[in-house]
Amino acid sequence: MTVTRRSVLVAATATPAAGALLGAPGAWAAEAAGPAGRRTLPLRDGWRFALADPVGATAATGEYADPGYDDSAWREVAVPHDWSIERTPTTEHGTTSGTGFFPGGLGWYRLAFTLPPECAGHRISVEFDGVHMDAYVHCNGTEVGRHPYGYTGFAFDLTGLLHTDGRTPNVLAVSVRNQLPSSRWYSGSGIYREARLVITEPVHVPRWGTCVTTPDISAERAVVRVRTDVQNESGAPAEVRIHSRIVDADGRTVARTASTAAVTDAATETHELTVARPRLWDFTDPHRYTLETELSVGGRTTDSYRTGFGIRSHRFDPDEGFSLNGVPAKLKGVDLHHDQGALGAAVSADAVRRQLTVMRSMGVNALRTAHNPPAPELIRICEELGVVLLVEAFDCWRTGKNRYDYGRFFDEWCERDATEMVLAARNSPAVVLWSIGNEIPDSTSTAGLAMADRIIDAIRAADATRPLVIGSDKYRRLPAKGSAADLMLAKLDGLGLNYNTAESVDALHAAYPRLFLFESESSSQTSTRGTYQEPEHLNTGENHTPGSRATSSYDNNLASWTMSGEYGHKKDRDRKWFAGQFLWSGIDYLGEPTPYDVFPVKASFFGAVDTAGFPKDMYHLFRSQWTDEPMVHLLPMSWNHERGATVEVWAYANVPSVELFLDGTSLGVREFDGKRTTDGRGYLETTEATGDDKTVTDGPYPGSYTSPNGSAGKLHLSWRVPYRPGELKAVARRDGRVVATDVLRTAGDPHTVRLTADRASLAADGRSLVFVTAEITDAHGVVVPDAEHLIAFDVRGGALAGVDNGRQESAERYQASTRTAFHGKALAIVRAGTRAGTLQVTARVAGLRTGRVSVRTTPARQVAATPAAAFPPDPPALPNLPYADASYSGRPDTLPAAMLDGDPATGWSNGFTKAATALLPAFTGARPEDWVSVDLGRTRTFDRVAVGFTVDAAHSLPAAVAAAVWDGHGYVPVRGLQVDWATVSDAPTVLTFAAVRGSRIRLTLTSAHPGEARGAVRISRLDV
């Protein structure tokens, strides 16, 4: 829903010190002037902020709410604002990996403003789209209300508390208390969504006062039913004329009607309008109409109210799946948490649009708001882009998942918050489902049945046109008949499943034929952009080496509850009745960094795209399955590897045939087979045993996921390629014609910083954002995949809003002027200035050619008044010396530093064990080769190394050891290496070689039993 925005003469002032006279107020940004009636003023500039307590253990004190309090020393901020993202990641103040190691605490906001005499006699309220969390709002020293839930909007009536003489300042004071942990993910802290003043005449449409439905749609006509609430706070009965007019996207009136109602206090009027030959809102043509509501009394307009809506029908059928406007369609969905990477939770329409545009390019047509009601900006942009929405209410009910989460407030607030969620989104054509919660502990208890009734009743009272579901991990096995889990399903229209096997999905469909089913969370495969490990294994181990904590992008790093992306897609694809899936997750998010729980790993690994918005290989897997435009994508993403290595090369494609070339020489053609589901839908897949489902015990492919049509196979093509530098090219063909290519080239030495902006122009309003990608390239423009240079950004004509690189393990600040490259890339998010002209971004790296990009900025009608903050540089901290490193560490308690701690009971190991998952058995294996190193930080002479190797059931002596010394540019193999092998576990094995000068030494260790549990290598002591 959108509301008409018109101006009111309002001025912002700095809050005066107690007893001080108010100085001349500066002009406050106001909207375009309009006739009498509704006026809306965004509350963005002029706020003062103080972090009173970084923990939030203390309660809010009243002195900050006093209108005479001197806040001149407080920091000036613009709203939306998230104070947590401004802080340096830390293990203090109650932070956890789940919160991304960002603090919360107790913060205060104050805003002073004057109102002109024209506002006297009007109704004035303040609206907040979201404050996280536990907010108390004061106006001129009076507490006007509290709102605990951080993810729903709220409003308070300020009429009678405000000065309207044009001289006396009014002071809004908002306390925000975010004690951690309050969510299982990064929540952000503060007034992180938009706020506004709404000024109306006594006869007006109240907040969320229109409800638009389309009960009858055909090609010839659509019936639009409009229910309008009218509020009369004049104190006298009034004859109110209610006008409804529908306008299409081109501004043409397509239907109108009016009626008169006698309104004493409040009334509701219903209109039915007919739109001829309606243009439907759809995935590919998301056309929207606008309802213009006008109230008049005695011929004078008292209110104008605008409501965006769309004409469309949708259906979820237990046997036929999902359809939009009568056309069957799979939900090709993703789950998204609400943070926007380096911007934190502070909502920006530009950032939301960028995220959703990237998702749309992957083929996404659906979004689940995980696990809370969304910002209005997200709803609006989904409407614009043709993305349907599952809007979710809660992550817990009475039983919380964290000490300070919503469970504290559920009993008092759940109906109000569920109602607010629905009222804020019910007129959106994008919204097709309401979810009462996600993985709710109470949902399978007897007490939870009554809790569910309260939420369901509140939702259905506000909107009865959409199905109700829950997202659940409680139904991986059939519940007992008559149990609370069974009775809960009787209350719902559909069931969202989190990480169910195909076997359990089929069992639920048979047992509950009334329910439609879909995957509310699918896959949860983890990956790091540009990182690859052991494609021959379906379930690889995590690297616990500090600085290298990452997971493989071969779709093969899984937690105990998760499944590969390929498995999740096939499970959904093969069942016509399955409504679709929501991939967990579309984009990496701050917090919940599974599989790691250690500082400074602060972002998740689940996304198909990283926090900087750079696609990972998982993005291309789903693009190959969800889009029709011909494509092919090679992984690994780069062609820089160890000489002598054999590289497993995959191709994701949506065309039948791909040929691979290395420097023009064909390495062979690989082809998908054309197959059909049991209901006749075509798809591409190889035909081979996949080994990805231990629950399949019979049929032609035991141990592999087998489709209902009896087939098994993979969604990628593969080659094993002996590495040599050059050009690797994939050529995709359909019917013998080349329709897509992908090319990888070996990168040379770093040479240049290349900058690319995601738009050519933007408004000079002080708020609009441009996203600038920085790439470290060689002299020929090829991205250097291992580049980790520190990039210094400088902006003229604007300001930095944040920097990122997509790396999950990083202690770098997001609000800084520097960022290290990660796999050759970084991102600068740049905010426009307030003067039209040119915005220029410069990126400098020591020793490389400087990068520059310019973007045109155009005049804006309204500009930000709050100065942009200047960000300092934030170079990574230098390691303590001597510093031990390794290519791989198999467990969090066997890190490289243990080689140098002098304790023989501790040590480094590359051995790992992966627990069994629902589909895969446990796996223990040895890596063929790994290296360890020691950096002394100064040049010295090396000629001897003593190594204590552990020999036990899980570790063996290596088959071979090689040594190399860093000469300032690279590692150079030593000469004359002699190895005197120890004969006892942990006794010194001594390496001697010709003396050589350097600052680091590296040992490369070859397993004596690669692939076997006993073949891992452990070093208890390393003496250089």
**Residues 526-544: tens digit of each pLDDT:** 999 999 999 999 999 999 9
Helix or strand (DSSP H, E) at 503? helix 502-511
From residue 82, how far is each of 73, 75, 190, 193, 393 by CA, in Å?
Answer: 19, 13, 5, 9, 22
CA distance 635 to 621: 10
Q: How many Cβ atoms sit within 10 Å of the Cβ of residue 317?
A: 13
Packing angle between helix 376-385 and helix 349-361, nearest 10 degrees?
40
DSSP label at 14? P
* Long-range contacts at 958-962 (CB < 8 A, ≥ 24 apart): 958/1005, 958/1006, 958/1007, 958/1008, 958/1017, 959/1006, 959/1007, 959/1008, 960/1005, 960/1006, 961/989, 961/991, 961/1003, 961/1004, 961/1005, 961/1006, 962/1003, 962/1004, 962/1006
By CB neighbour count within 10 A (0-12 exposed, 13-18 middle, 19+ buried), where does 443 fall?
buried
DSSP label at 408? G
Determine which of 16-20, 227-231, 1013-1017 has the lowest per-residue pLDDT on average: 16-20
- pLDDT attached to residue 644: 87
Which stretches of 277-345 are assigned E, i.e. beta strand?
A: 289-297, 300-309, 314-317, 321-324, 327-328, 331-336
From residue 155, how far is each of 131, 140, 465 by CA, in Å?
Answer: 11, 16, 26
From residue 356, how far is each of 144, 289, 325, 333 by CA, in Å?
Answer: 37, 22, 23, 11
What are φ and ψ of residue 354, in 5° steps?
-60, -45
pLDDT over 50 (residue 13): no
What are φ and ψ of residue 228, in 5° steps?
-115, 125
- pLDDT attached to residue 15: 38
- Interval 542-597: pLDDT, tens: 999 999 999 999 999 999 999 999 999 999 999 999 999 999 999 999 999 999 99
- Where along the chain do its domains lie? 39-201, 210-310, 314-627, 634-745, 750-858, 883-1023
Of the spans 703-712, 917-926, 1009-1018, which averages the highest pLDDT? 703-712
Which stretches of 234-330 are assigned E, i.e. beta strand?
A: 238-247, 253-263, 266-276, 289-297, 300-309, 314-317, 321-324, 327-328
CA distance 175 to 189: 11
Place of tokens 């591409």: 684
CA distance 518 to 499: 11
- Interval 202-234: pLDDT, tens: 999 999 999 999 999 999 999 999 999 999 999
CATH class of 634-745: mainly beta
- pLDDT attached to residue 1011: 87
| Residue 513 exposure: Cα atoms within 13 Å on the Cβ side | 2
Q: State the fold for domain 883-1023.
A: Jelly Rolls (2.60.120)
CA distance 711 to 676: 10
- pLDDT attached to residue 4: 32
8 A C-beta contact, residue 371 and residue 438:
yes
Catalytic pick from 377, 521, 812, 929?
521
- Interval 154-179: pLDDT, tens: 999 999 999 999 999 999 999 999 99
- Interval 998-1009: pLDDT, tens: 999 999 999 999
Sorting pLDDT into bands at 50, 70 and 90, what band is 623?
very high
DSSP label at 869? P
3-class secondary structure, 368: strand
- Interval 488-508: pLDDT, tens: 999 999 999 999 999 999 999
Sorting pLDDT into bands at 50, 70 and 90, what band is 57?
confident
- pLDDT attached to residue 577: 98
pLDDT over 90 (residue 18): no
CATH superfamily of the domain spanning 39-201? Galactose-binding domain-like (2.60.120.260)
What would the mean pLDDT of 621-646 be, rounded to a whole number? Answer: 96
3-class secondary structure, 619: helix
What would the mean pLDDT of 777-801 be, rounded to a whole number? Answer: 97
Domains 314-627 and 634-745 share a fold: no
- Interval 856-890: pLDDT, tens: 999 999 999 999 999 999 998 888 999 999 999 99
Confirm or reject CATH 2.60.40.10 for domain 750-858, answering yes or no: yes
- Interval 738-760: pLDDT, tens: 999 999 999 999 999 999 999 99
pLDDT over 60 (residue 16): no
Catalytic pick from 201, 269, 383, 439?
439
Sorting pLDDT into bands at 50, 70 and 90, what band is 952?
very high
8 A C-beta contact, residue 542 and residue 883:
no
Which stretches of 31-82 are assigned E, i.e. beta strand?
A: 39-42, 47-53, 75-77
pLDDT over 70 (residue 485): yes
CA distance 107 to 96: 20
3-class secondary structure, 62: helix
Secondary structure tally for the chain: helices H, strands E = 8, 59
Burial 358-393 (b: 16+ CB within 10 A, else e): bbbebbbbbbbbbbbbbbbbbbbbbbebbbbbbbbb
Sorting pLDDT into bands at 50, 70 and 90, what band is 24?
very low
What's the pTM? 0.94
- pLDDT attached to residue 59: 74
Cis check for the bond before 958: say yes or no (omega within 30 of 0). no
pLDDT over 80 (residue 31): no
Closest by CA to 462, choosing from 423, 417, 412, is: 423
| Share of residues in the chain with pLDDT > 70 (%) | 96
Sorting pLDDT into bands at 50, 70 and 90, what band is 34?
very low
CA distance 440 to 446: 13
Instruction: Find the length of the chain.
Output: 1024
CATH for the 314-627 domain, from 3.50.50.60, 3.20.20.80, 3.40.50.300, 3.40.50.720: 3.20.20.80
Sorting pLDDT into bands at 50, 70 and 90, what band is 36?
low
CATH class of 210-310: mainly beta
CA distance 561 to 499: 7
Q: Is 439 an active-site residue?
A: yes
3-class secondary structure, 890: coil
- Interval 795-822: pLDDT, tens: 999 999 999 999 999 999 999 999 999 9
- pLDDT attached to residue 37: 85
CA distance 402 to 99: 11
8 A C-beta contact, residue 424 and residue 149:
no
Residues whose CB falls within 8 Å of the CB of residue 666, separated by 6 or more in sequence, listed in order = 659, 660
Mean pLDDT of the chain: 94
DSSP label at 132? B
pLDDT over 70 (residue 7): no
